[in-house]
């Protein structure tokens, strides 16, 4: 099998440019892109004929004019409204270069779509309407481009024919944008005046603006720098372990930084296992060396434990490893980001449990002002502290997009709800270590003659959680078990006295209670937790702190009508009167458990009977029977 020509591969990669078009609504992004495809000779005759027919239908007043926006606005809703909604990708080429372009929507509510398009781009074409100048959405998109690591921008000042092709209008806009780019850290900016429908300065120089002597848009794209932000040190996330038979074991992935050669000593992170590269295998044969952007399989000179999500790095310069970070997060979910809520974080080929421990500030993407925030809503950007459940190998996003960029995934719906860029590891991530102790949970439990458990009682206010749990604890005490009861109301007199009842405060309330309950289980106790804990995600977080079988969710299922009838604390009456806000069941939701270990249907049963159900199930799990 012939060896792969590495030189030609690298050369081919450098000929591909990924770029986006963005800007405010009606600036003419789709028209410009359509015209660019037309001038590049990428519109076949049949498609051109279809374009002419569609243009006549939509613009009967100008039957000969071509509406180039129709080449990229593929959705019916886009054509009807004359706007871009989703990101439209197009491939085209010229004799000098190949291109993949993402036409991004201009409306503010589709900012997350625009961020998706920018995440893999090397250059942005930002359109500005010559009549309007820089608009808030222009600034918003430019900020997100900078956030996503785009450092070269082409500013196309469009619709110059509507301002009589005046050079002073163009110059003022170009000057204002360059000032904005300096603030955002965008280092390379080229401005040019265009008239998208007529193709002025798109694929050919404009006769109407002889004062502009610079390159056309197509020439700028053909000469743009395609170097990716990948870092100089060798990095390769393991995508999968390639083992077709017992005689071959390789680690497959795409090199995302530096280069690797046969014989180089590498380290598998985060476990820091060392080996040397024995072979670099590709579909076209073995290589002596591989560089960033190549998909390869590495075989090593010794058997080591490496799996998907690990990072193979040069042993002489391994990647940093940490479990706490400062990062920018662009929120893309319809439900807000709440601190301490658990999500999955996917970075490279690795997926870990994560939560935002705090939002340091959110950013006004129009002015870049830093604003206080307790949550992030759709399309908002925040600077946050992240905590992971275990350490990962990483790079800052500025140094390496692959090992510095991540997405956040909702653990219930599996929807991508956020994307982010790692900035640096928090110092406490490397300075704080778990202290080993000789006595562990098993020893402490054995000394008490029991197995530690957490009974998590959840349900509406007034459902009977504390009443039932109190009876359960009394029964367990009479049987000689060591217990402790954590009641939500009691904890709000001390540990959680600083928390209110907003969604953010409820998340933090449950987190604190769960951590305390986990410590008590570690002490060998049977702990009974009574908190409303209305959100499934927080109960899932609590369960995740405990070992398999230690956590028993007890759903005290009492109807809202019955809870209101009881109303032992008068809270429902106050909530109905508007004296209390964010009250569960009234103006704040309760997400009922889907798979609780014990579902207590309270209708028609006394609290003593319900408590006995709990005791029986607990003792059965402990291998005991009630006396």
Q: Which residues are catalytic?
A: 533
Main-chain dihedrals φ then ψ at residue 392, nearest 5 degrees: -130, 155
Main-chain dihedrals φ then ψ at residue 614, nearest 5 degrees: -65, -45
Q: At what angle do helices 465-478 and 607-622 cross, to 10 degrees?
A: 50
Interacting residues of 305 by C-beta distance below 8 A, sequence separation 6+: 268, 271, 273
CA distance 489 to 60: 70
Cis bond leading into 381, ω under 30°?
no
Q: Is the CB of residue 224 less than 8 Å from the CB of residue 17?
A: yes
Residue 496, Cα to own-chain centre: how many angstroms? 30
| Alpha-carbon torsion (547, 358, 308, 433), positive or negative | negative
- Of the candidates 443, 471, 498, 488, the one whose C-alpha atom is nearest the C-alpha of residue 605 is 471
Neighbours of 213 (CB within 10 A): 7
* Cα–Cα separations (whole angstroms), residue 80 to 74, 288, 480: 11, 55, 74
Token pair, residue 530, equals 């009574």
Token pair, residue 314, equals 């040069």
* Cα–Cα separations (whole angstroms), residue 358 to 327, 329, 541, 559, 615: 11, 12, 17, 35, 39
Neighbours of 413 (CB within 10 A): 10
């Amino acid at each position: 099998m012939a060896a792969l020509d590495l030189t030609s591969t690298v050369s081919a990669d450098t000929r591909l440019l990924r770029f986006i078009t963005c800007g405010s609504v009606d600036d003419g992004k789709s028209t410009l892109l359509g015209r660019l495809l037309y001038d590049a000779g990428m519109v076949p005759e049949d498609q051109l004929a279809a374009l002419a027919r569609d243009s006549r239908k939509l613009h009967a007043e100008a039957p000969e004019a071509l509406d180039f926006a129709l080449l990229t606005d593929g959705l019916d809703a886009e054509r009807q409204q004359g706007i871009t909604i989703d990101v439209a990708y197009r491939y085209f080429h010229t004799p000098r270069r190949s291109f993949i372009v993402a036409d991004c929507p201009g409306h503010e509510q589709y900012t997350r779509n625009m961020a998706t398009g920018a995440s893999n781009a090397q250059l942005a074409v930002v359109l500005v309407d010559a009549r309007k100048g820089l608009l808030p959405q222009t600034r918003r998109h430019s900020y997100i481009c900078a956030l996503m690591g785009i450092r070269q921008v082409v500013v196309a000042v469009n619709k110059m024919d509507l301002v009589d092709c005046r050079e002073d209008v163009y110059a003022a806009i170009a000057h204002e944008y360059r000032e904005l780019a300096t603030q955002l850290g965008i280092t390379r900016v080229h401005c040019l005046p265009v008239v998208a429908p007529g193709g002025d300065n798109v694929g050919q120089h404009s006769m109407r603006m002889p004062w502009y002597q610079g390159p056309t848009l197509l020439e700028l794209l053909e000469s743009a720098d395609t170097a990716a932000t990948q870092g100089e040190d060798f990095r390769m996330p393991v995508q999968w372990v390639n083992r077709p038979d017992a005689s071959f074991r390789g680690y497959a992935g795409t090199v995302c930084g530096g280069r690797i050669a046969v014989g180089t000593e590498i380290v598998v992170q985060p476990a820091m296992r060392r080996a040397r590269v024995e072979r670099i295998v590709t579909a076209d044969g073995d290589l002596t060396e591989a560089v960033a952007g190549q998909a390869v399989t590495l075989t090593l000179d010794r058997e080591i434990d490496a799996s998907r999500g690990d990072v193979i790095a040069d042993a002489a310069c391994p990647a940093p490893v940490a479990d706490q970070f400062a990062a920018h997060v662009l929120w893309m979910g319809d439900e807000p980001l709440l601190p301490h809520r658990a999500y999955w974080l996917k970075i490279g080929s690795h997926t870990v449990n994560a939560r935002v421990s705090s939002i340091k500030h959110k950013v006004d993407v129009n002015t870049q002002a830093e604003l206080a925030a307790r949550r992030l809503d759709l399309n908002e950007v925040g600077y946050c502290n992240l905590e992971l459940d275990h350490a990962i190998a990483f790079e800052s996003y500025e140094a390496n997009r692959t090992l510095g960029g991540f997405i956040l995934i909702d653990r219930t719906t599996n929807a991508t709800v956020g994307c982010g860029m790692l900035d640096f590891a928090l110092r406490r991530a490397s300075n704080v270590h778990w202290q080993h102790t000789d006595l562990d949970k098993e020893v402490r439990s054995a000394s008490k003659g029991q197995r530690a458990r957490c009974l998590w009682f959840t349900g509406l206010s007034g459902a009977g959680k504390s009443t039932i749990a109190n009876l359960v604890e009394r029964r367990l005490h009479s049987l000689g078990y060591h217990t402790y009861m954590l009641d939500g109301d009691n904890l709000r007199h001390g540990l959680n006295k600083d928390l209110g009842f907003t969604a953010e405060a409820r998340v933090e309330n449950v987190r604190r209670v769960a951590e305390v309950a986990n410590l008590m289980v570690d002490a060998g106790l049977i702990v009974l937790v009574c908190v409303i804990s209305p959100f499934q995600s927080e109960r899932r977080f609590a369960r995740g702190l405990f070992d398999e079988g230690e956590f028993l969710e007890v759903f005290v299922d009492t109807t809202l009508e019955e809870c209101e009838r009881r109303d032992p604390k008068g809270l429902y009456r106050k909530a109905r009167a508007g004296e209390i806000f964010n009250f569960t069941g009234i103006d704040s939701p309760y997400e009922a458990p889907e798979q609780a270990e014990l579902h207590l249907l309270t209708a028609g049963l006394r609290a003593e009977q319900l408590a006995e159900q709990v005791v029986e199930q607990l003792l059965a799990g402990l291998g005991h029977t009630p006396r």
